[in-house]
Structure 1
Amino acid sequence: MNESELYSIGDVARRTGLSVSAIRYYADEGVVAPTGVTDGGFRQYDVHAIAQLELVRTLRELGAGLGEIRRVLTAQATLHDLAVTHLRLVEGQLGQLRARRAVLRAVVRQNTTTEHVSLLHKLVSMSDDERDRLINQFWDFVTDGLDVHPGYVERLHNQRPHLPEEPSSEQLEAWIELAEIVQDEEFRAALRDFFRRGVGSEKGKLLASPEMMARVEQHLKLRSEARASQQAGVAADSPQARDIAERVAADSAELVAAMTGKHDLDKARRGIAEFDRSEKEPQWLAKAPGLKLLTRYLRLVATINGTPKPDPDRAAAIREWMAAALRSQA
């Protein structure tokens, strides 16, 4: 466009995408005045005014008011300041929309009652302190009367969600579900019974001791090495895979011996080598519903925290890899 040329209001409307009435309105409100007026009373605009009108249209679409736009155009406020203000507004609106979507999805999924909708909205609107208090109450109930080392109880309490400042819809939905189950009396009671049965015996207390927990962490690191190798594409029949699988078997035998006093390397090797993904759920897992509840809790916490979730298929693939590694020596 020619900088010295003046354009009719119809041309300006076509160039900016604004209606003629909108351009007149902005002129009447003192936002963008016409550059000139013809003898016949027709308004005309130069390229500078057209650029201002294009900015007005953009800012209006972003939610800016006329007063704010006028201050920007008259240099009483900077575009940066206006953007900062509206960015905060938009981010706040996005947070509210994510929370509403999470509640609505929960309503659709659960076919909930009108009373329950209010509860769901309250859950997503909780402050950090309120969420912490809810989780503390849950673990206080679950671990009440648990006769184990305090360090074990502390580890349980540390398994908690940390909802980020800008959670995704998935994180909000996971928080809603988690907040509901930690207040469910049956869930709380079943999990408390699971821990009392699990660590109530002498063997359980030994397993919950700091020394044994450190020993378990050592074993988990070894299994993490197996997972890293399997995911890196190390062949199951390679010497590296066999070495890792043998070390996992040996460490498993030593871990069991530390808990039971019985060391059986052959049994540990068979336990790895005979793994079959197609088998039904192990009997010990079917008899431990509390473990399923704990896994559900941990999966939700992982979703909220944005950390890797327990993945049965991935775990099975790693076990298959180690089984193949041990069988390749036969």
Structure 2
Amino acid sequence: MNGEGDTYLSIGELARRTGLTVKAVRAYSDRGIVPPAGRTPAGYRHYGPEAVARLRLVRTLRALGLGLPTIREALDRDTPPAELAAAHAEALAVQIRVLTARRALLLAAARRDATPEEMELMHRLAALSEDERRALTREFLDEVLGGPETGTGLAGVARSMTPDLSDHPAEEETEAWIELAELCQDPGFRAAMRRTVAHHAADGTEHADGVPRPHPEAVIRDHTAPARAAGIDPGSPQAGPVVDAVTAAYAQQCGRPDDAALRQRLLARLDTVNDPRRERYLHLLAVVNRWPAPDPLSPELDWFCAALRARTTS
């Protein structure tokens, strides 16, 4: 009864053909995964030839991590192995996303020596659903930008500042999202962003024909970068033309004379804009959204503010 061409196979022969132990075959048989075709007159189980293919599939699915209840249900329903593999792959993808988020959370907590309270907040932020993440950032942007009903014309700014975490984020993207969400909850950062927006709105953002004007920060970058590259000290006379060019452009934008009051106004704006948390937000946003890393603006603003302050207070 145990030859290659026999109709029925003993449990030992079935184990030999499938590479399993007799104990494993007996356990699968007891669970009904590979039921015996019958018993010999002596009471020993015997199996049909189809049990070989069935057990080989069971062995493969177990190696892939499927549980026995799932395997039995699939075999009883005659689920195609490809369909079963696809379903299990999706389940593994969910587990991977959860584990990736947990690992990113633990690494972030370890790097910053997080307190239990910070750990709790980070865990809550990492576990948010997509809808909850969107609601959190929407509430933050509505507060700092004034919301869609204020007519401030900042809808484009809101879109450019909205994080969109992938369904399959890399570890560094998950970690960046956690830190970005923490920033969104920071009252001090929110207040600083509101002040920035207030300066932006007070200075005017568009021409009469609706064409956007360049922000002073962009003008500063264009003029300051060459001066810094040339090694010009912000307190030196050579920095004067750079300051004059920027303040003249700013005065034209505001429709005001380039005088001491305007320069004080520009300094107040730049001191608000030049908040390291704002630059950090933009960096984290680029990581989450898989955008190119933005060039840091703080070196240009630091240089220009020093140059402007030297000429405003003297």
Partner of 1:205: 204
Partner of 1:156: 157
- Are the aligned partners of 2:165 and 2:288 in contact in 1 as well (CA < 8 Å)? yes
CA distance in 2, matches of 1:304, 1:81: 33
Aligned-partner residue type, residue 286 of structure 2: A
Partner of 1:293: 277
Aligned-partner residue type, residue 32 of structure 2: G
Partner of 1:24: 26
| Alpha carbons of structure 1 residues 209 and 119: separation in structure 2 relative to 1, 3 Å | farther
CA distance in 2, matches of 1:150, 1:288: 19
Counterpart of 1:69 (choices 36, 49, 71) is 71
For residues 44-90 of structure 1, the C-alpha deviation after alignment (integer angstroms, 9 at most, x for no partner) is 77875333222101212334343443344455433344334433422
CA distance in 1, matches of 2:19, 2:76: 23
CA RMSD of aligned residues (A): 4.4
| Alpha carbons of structure 1 residues 14 and 109: separation in structure 2 relative to 1, 3 Å | farther
Partner of 2:195: 193
User: How does the TM-score come out when normalised to structure 1?
Assistant: 0.59
Partner of 1:126: 128
| Secondary structure, aligned partner of 1:18 | coil
| Alpha carbons of structure 1 residues 9 and 298: separation in structure 2 relative to 1, 3 Å | same
Aligned-partner residue type, residue 156 of structure 2: R
CA distance in 1, matches of 2:163, 2:90: 25
Q: Aligned residues, how many?
A: 253
- Are the aligned partners of 1:101 and 1:169 in contact in 2 as well (CA < 8 Å)? yes
| Alpha carbons of structure 1 residues 214 and 64: separation in structure 2 relative to 1, 3 Å | same
CA distance in 2, matches of 1:210, 1:4: 89
Give the C-alpha shift of residue 110 in structure 1. Answer: 1.7
| Alpha carbons of structure 1 residues 66 and 131: separation in structure 2 relative to 1, 3 Å | closer
Indicate yes or no: 2:302 matched with 1:302: no
Give the C-alpha shift of residue 31 in structure 1. Answer: 2.1
Give the C-alpha shift of residue 178 in structure 1. Answer: 0.4
For residues 110-146 of structure 1, the C-alpha deviation after alignment (integer angstroms, 9 at most, x for no partner) is 211223222112112223333233223322333359x
Aligned-partner residue type, residue 305 of structure 1: N
- Are the aligned partners of 1:161 and 1:304 in contact in 2 as well (CA < 8 Å)? yes
User: How does the TM-score come out when normalised to structure 2?
Assistant: 0.62
CA distance in 2, matches of 1:206, 1:115: 41
| Alpha carbons of structure 1 residues 183 and 21: separation in structure 2 relative to 1, 3 Å | same
Can you give the 5+ residue segments of structure 1 that lack an aligned partner in the other structure?
224-253, 263-282, 317-330
Indicate yes or no: 2:66 matched with 1:82: no
Aligned-partner residue type, residue 156 of structure 1: V
- Percentage of pairs with the same residue: 39
- Are the aligned partners of 1:138 and 1:182 in contact in 2 as well (CA < 8 Å)? yes
| Alpha carbons of structure 1 residues 4 and 34: separation in structure 2 relative to 1, 3 Å | farther
CA distance in 1, matches of 2:204, 2:199: 10
- Are the aligned partners of 1:4 and 1:46 in contact in 2 as well (CA < 8 Å)? no
| Alpha carbons of structure 1 residues 211 and 47: separation in structure 2 relative to 1, 3 Å | same
Give the C-alpha shift of residue 179 in structure 1. Answer: 0.6
